[in-house]
Amino acid sequence: KQEVTQIPAALSVPEGENLVLNCSFTDSAIYNLQWFRQDPGKGLTSLLLIQSSQREQTSGRLNASLDKSSGRSTLYIAASQPGDSATYLCAVIGGSNYKLTFGKGTLLTVNP
């Protein structure tokens, strides 16, 4: 059974800092890995999708990497801003049912 772990569970940083969020998964037989952002009580916004054949994806200040063989992904956020404060969720897509298996998320707070 696939398990996804995100470390740290919570992170508080000053504005302007670069930061890294970590995600690990137990079964490397995945199609893709997707990073989401969730604001309190709101829906999930897709940030980046990394296909299993790719090593990284970039979107603006975000860069996500994938090391499928070791079961790890990182989300790098450059020059953090207070508007980046949210919960960041990592999910792997795998199996015959294309199911997303989510981590519990990292709650990020960027202080002005």
Partner 1 sequence: EAQVTQNPRYLITVTGKKLTVTCSQNMNHEYMSWYRQDPGLGLRQIYYSMNVEVTDKGDVPEGYKVSRKEKRNFPLILESPSPNQTSLYFCASSRQGDYNEQFFGPGTRLTVL
List of residues contacting partner 1 (CB under 8 A): 31-32, 34, 36, 41-46, 49, 51, 89, 91, 93, 97-100, 102-105
Using the Cα atoms of residue 30, residue 32, residue 35 and residue 36 in order, give the sign of their dihedral.
negative
Name the DSSP class of 112: -
Which of 42/61 has CB closer to partner 1? 42
Strand 72-77 to 4-7 pairing:
unpaired
Which of 13/22 has CB closer to partner 1? 22
Which of 26/81 has CB closer to partner 1? 26
Q: Rounded to the nearest whole angstrom, what is the least distance from the CB of residue 17 to partner 1 in the complex?
A: 27
Q: Rounded to the nearest whole angstrom, what is the least distance from the CB of residue 61 to partner 1 in the complex?
A: 20
Which of 48/77 has CB closer to partner 1? 48
Q: Rounded to the nearest whole angstrom, what is the least distance from the CB of residue 91 to partner 1 in the complex?
A: 8
Residue 24: CB atoms within 10 Å: 17
Strand 19-25 to 72-77 pairing:
antiparallel
